[in-house]
Amino acid sequence: MAIEKREAVSDEDPDADVLRRMGEGDETASRELVGRKLARVHALALRMLGDAGDAEEVAQEALLRSWRQAAGWKPGRARFDTWLHRVVLNLCYDRLRRKREVPFAEPPDQVDPAPPADQRMAQDQTTRRVQAALARLPDRQREAIMLQTYQELTNIETAAVLGVSVEALESLLSRARRSLRALLEGAEP
């Protein structure tokens, strides 16, 4: 009996009420959802893209899509967070593909977005090494690490976002951690 109760609680989507209200045109609900989700989706996009401007655009587009989908949202089919994280990942990969496909005859004239030299020197070297190692991981391994470690999703939630079983996720995470460790130690994974 206790197991059934836990499953029922875990299946309940904490965003169902706000989505229903958004679908009914409640502007307060829209602001509430943005307040709940903006920081997390922006953080995921920033880690995936490495560019604050692109991350802001992805976060805004993902939340705009949630607003458009609110009226037709079907509770129980999937948790809203699962859907939203998948939307953010898809938008990030679309941007990354577009960046790879655009050849330049010469580099564009842009202001260097890097922080001033004194701030760069103060940044933690370990963080840079970890980010570089994460970028070298295969996409699925990087997604699993990002969602679980940086987005703090559970194994069940991460598996749902990636569309795999929990067992497959655990195997994926194990391979990702081994590869990451090898990269950080200077060996090829």
Q: Write out pLDDT tens, residues 114-147.
A: 766 656 655 667 788 888 888 999 999 999 998 9
Q: For residue 155, is pLDDT > 70?
A: yes
* H or E stretch at 142: helix 139-145
Same domain, 83 and 130: no
* Residue range 21-34, pLDDT digits in tens: 988 888 898 899 99
Residue 174's CATH number: 1.10.10.10
CB 89 within 8 A of CB 48: yes
Domain count along the chain? 2
For residue 110, being part of any structural domain is answered with: no
Same domain, 18 and 91: yes
For residue 1, being part of any structural domain is answered with: no
Same domain, 93 and 156: no
Entry field: residues in the chain: 189
Among 189, 169, 170, 168, residue whose Cα is nearest residue 179: 189
| φ, ψ at 181 (rounded to 5°) | -60, -45
Mean pLDDT value of segment 65-77: 82
d(CA 111, CA 143): 30
d(CA 29, CA 23): 9
Q: What are the tokens at 134?
A: 């994460």
d(CA 61, CA 49): 15
Domain boundary among 50, 73, 104: 104
d(CA 84, CA 172): 21
- Hey, what amino acid is at 186? G
Please name the residue that has the structure tokens 């609680």. Answer: 9
Centroid of chain to Cα 165: 19
Residue 74's CATH number: 1.10.1740.10
For residue 4, being part of any structural domain is answered with: no
* Residue range 83-109, pLDDT digits in tens: 999 999 999 999 988 877 656 666 666
Look up the domain containing 176 and give its range. Answer: 115-189
- Hey, what amino acid is at 19? L
Mean pLDDT value of segment 182-189: 76
Domain boundary among 58, 80, 104: 104
d(CA 167, CA 14): 25
For residue 77, being part of any structural domain is answered with: yes
DSSP, collapsed to helix, strand or coil, labels residue 30 as helix
